[in-house]
Chain A
C-alpha cells in the first residue's frame, strides 16, 4: 500500500469512520415501519385463522405438552405461556397477544408494543413448535432484533407531542443500536437466500429442473385445479425451478448493489406472492416480503405516511422545548 494512503487509513481512523457512520442517523426507518406492519398482519393471520382451534394448538390440552414447552423456554422472551396452565390463564395470554398484534399493526405504543409482541409471539411459537414453518423461523429471529430498532417513525400513531431535541450522546447511542440491529436483520435475509440456494444446488431434482413438479404435488402445497396445469407443463416446471435457483443465488449480491436493488426487491415480491398463491404459504410470504422491506431505498420509503398524533397536536412553546430537551438530553 502507498505510504500516504496507509497514513490516511489507520485502524484508528477506520474505527472512527465506522463509528461516525453508525451513529449519525437511523437508517431504513420507512422499511422497518413496513416490516412492523407486515409482521403484525402475519401474526394476526395466525391468531385469527386458528382462533377456534386455539385450545388444541396452544392451550392446556395442546398436543405439545406444557412441560415440554417449559423445557425449551429458556430465555425471558419465551416465557409468556408459562402461566397458561389453566383455560382461564391461557385465554388471557392469548387474547392479550391478539390485542398487542393489533396495536402493532396500527403503530400504537411505539417500541414497547413491538417488544410486547415479540415476547408474546415468540412464546406462542415455542408453546407449539410443531406448527412452525420457514416463515415462523425468520419471524422468530427477526422479532428479537426488531425490539432494538425504531419501527414507528412511519405508518403509526403516537399519544405524545413530538419530543424535543435529544441529547447528542443519547441520540448517537440510540442510532448505533438501531443500525446494528437493522444490519442483523438484513444479514439474516441474505443468509436465508444464500443457505437455501446452497441446499438447492446440491440437489439432483433442482439440477435437473424438475423439483417444482414434486413440490406442487405435495398435498399441503397443492392448489387443486391449478397446480396440475403448472406441473404438467414441462416449460413451466423447468423455467420456474431454475429461475428459483438463479434468483436465490443472485439476491445477496444484487440487493447490496445500489443499481439493482429496486429490481431485485421487485422480483422478490413477485417470487413470494407466487409462493403464497400457488403453494398457499401466506404467512411465510408475508414474513419474507416484510423482512425484505428493510432494503427499501429511503427515497421510496420517504413517501410512506409519517407518524401522526392521536390527540390534537399541541406545539411545544420554545421555553418548554428547552426544558424538555434538558430533561431527556441532560443539557
Chain B
C-alpha cells in the first residue's frame, strides 16, 4: 500500500495519479511528500533576482527609495562561504518559485490553447493554484517587509518588488563573452502595512 502510493506520488503526471489525486494528497501530508524533479524535465535556465523599494518616513517627509537588489547579497555569501554557507538564499528563490508555480497539467492545456490561438483567458487559474498564490503573496509580503526593515528601519510601511528574470544565453552561444539571453521584468503590486503584523 505504502509502496504503491509512494510510486504514484513520486511519478511524473499520469492518468492514475489524476484518478487518485484526493487520496494521494491526503497520504503525503506531512511525512511522505515526494518531489524528485531535481532539475527535470526542464532545468531552471535563468537567473532570478528580486529588487525591492519602499516608501519610508511619515507624512510629508515620506519618500520612495530606489530599487535595491536583495537577492545578490545572499548569493554572494553562498559563493564566498561554499561549504559553510547558510541557507538564506533559498528562501527568496523558493518564494519566487511559489509565485510562479502553476499546476503542470493545467499549464499544458493553457500552453496548447495559446499555441492554437484560442480565445480562453490564459490568466484563469485553478482553485489549487489560487490557494498557492494567495499563500505565496502573504509570505512574499512578510519577506519583503523584513528585508525593508533591515535596510531602511521601521518606518518602511509600504514595499514593492520587481522580479528580474535573466534568461541564460542558449547552449550554442555559451562561450561568447558578452552573450546574454532575454531579460524579463515583472513588477509586483505595492504591498501595504508592513508595521502592522
Contacts and interface: CB of A to CB of B under 8 A. Distances in A.
B86 A280 contact: no
Contacts of A130: 90-91, 94-95, 139
Contacts of B11: 195, 198
Interface in B5-43: 6-7, 10-12, 29-43
A217 interface: yes
A139 B161 CA distance: 34
B143 A49 contact: no
Contact of A53 (B42, B47, B88, B135): B88
Which 7 pairs between the two chains have the least Cβ-Cβ distance?
A: A203-B41, A199-B40, A195-B10, A195-B36, A214-B45, A200-B40, A202-B41
B112 interface: no
B155 interface: no
B63 interface: no
Nearest to B38: A196
B142 interface: yes
Interface residues of B, number: 51
A119 to B, nearest CB: 12
B3 interface: yes
Interface in B88-118: 88-91, 93-95
B91 A131 contact: yes
27 contacts: A52-B86, A57-B91, A63-B146, A64-B139, A74-B29, A75-B31, A130-B94, A130-B95, A131-B91, A134-B38, A137-B35, A141-B34, A187-B6, A188-B6, A191-B6, A191-B34, A198-B11, A203-B43, A205-B45, A206-B41, A210-B171, A215-B39, A215-B44, A217-B47, A218-B47, A220-B89, A224-B79
Given A63-B146, A78-B30, A232-B174, A220 B39 contact: no
Contact of B41 (A184, A191, A200, A220): A200
B2 interface: yes
Contacts, number: 153
A230 to B, nearest CB: 11
Contacts of A199: 12, 36-38, 40-41
A206 B91 contact: no
A120 B44 CA distance: 32
B146 to A, nearest CB: 6
B74 to A, nearest CB: 9
Contacts of A215: 39, 43-44
A90 to B, nearest CB: 17
A93 interface: no
A247 B56 CA distance: 54
A87 B30 CA distance: 26
A205 B30 contact: no
A239 to B, nearest CB: 14
